[in-house]
Structure 1
Amino acid sequence: MTVWDRPEPPHRPVPLDRERIVAAAVALADEGGLAAVSLRKVAARLGAGPMRLYGFLSTKEELFDLLVDEVQGEILPEERPDDWREALSVLSHRTRRTALRHEWLADLLGGRPTLGPNGLAVTEAKLAALDGLTDIDTALRAVETVSAYVTGAIRREIADLRAERATGLSEQEWQRASGPHVTSMLATGRFPALAKAVHDGTDVDAETSFATGLDWVLDAVAAQLARP
């Protein structure tokens, strides 16, 4: 029995329900990351004893499942675009924006899919975008490929943001601080391709980089769909 199927216990002596528990857990995670979330801390925020939560949850992993499913509700658009490419693009960009609002989501993306209503709805929306355009196996591989790119790009962006906060250096400040070392290494001539990238490459912001990479992945999906 999953956490979503389990009946909720009576609301006494402190009124509790799964919605309040999840809202408290999301607030704790937004404030301090996943390390700030535990059944004990959620119970304390709700003014209840920790044992009360075990009527709703068996493990912290179930709590994390509820956390992911809750914020996945922010990914779904109000209206689904008719074009498959636009539909997958909208879902991808909304996933990124959701992760930037809830940075802890990056730590939980890419594992086993959650089986909550919002998680299933997101998966349904991705597969429905390709419904009728190809066979189901091709649709599954396409969705997996796009999801793998989105997860990787989000994790890298969030890691950069965390590093910036940890070091107190912006990306530009970090590049200037490490510039002498990089310059001396490139001067050895051992890294000609990297030297060209450093000297001639165009620096873009995270959103532009994400959008460009996503377009390339969707181009690959389109090419696959066009095959006889």
Structure 2
Amino acid sequence: MSHELTMTDPAARSRHVAALASSTAWTTEMALAQSEGVDVPALIESYERGLVALKEAEPKGLGASGKPGKLSSGLADDLALLCTKIAPTIAVEQADAWNKVMVTALSDLPGRVAREAAQAALHTPMRFLNEVEGVIREKAVPIGYRHSMALRRLRELEAAIRRALEPDQPALAAPNPEPELTVEQIRALTPELRSIGVKIGAITQDQVAHAIRSNYVPHEEAA
């Protein structure tokens, strides 16, 4: 059932491609085959936002003025669980103060990375609250690397999609205006790449339909 959802639902497809970008199973060819219906530029933008330091992405943090940022608020919730686990009898006021201090202390980390690291730290035995920051920072290193690697892979995927949709040109050919894809080039694309090409405006649905139904035979084959 989950496989069918991945194949039909755009949001599920995006999550699937994002998960693939973070996995050891990644290949650009595999991602190309599974990227139909995925807004790859939007996925890249989401990763880029998630890798910005929390203090830059949400300057107000948990400040009293204005609504707390989503990542800052989420990190505070993650830290609250850690606080409860390590010091279950701590007073509410002390716990709140500790949470605010910790969110600020960890704000040099990307919010997405800090949250995942805090959630992972919940499974690490600790006796004292002053151990928390060190554990989170330690866990943030491989998490940050994994997200950075995924971002690089998604950029490679975007470049591969563009290359597949662009006709080969001589090295010195003027790129302006860009030539349209020929019938043969459109016909040679996989259905997934045709769909992506239509979505980003590189080709039209009429061009795809014409290429599929065309009986055009190249000159050398006719000879």
Q: Aligning the two structures, in what range does the TM-score lie when normalised by the shorter sequence?
A: under 0.3
Q: TM-score, normalised by structure 1?
A: 0.27
Structure of higher CA gyration radius: 2
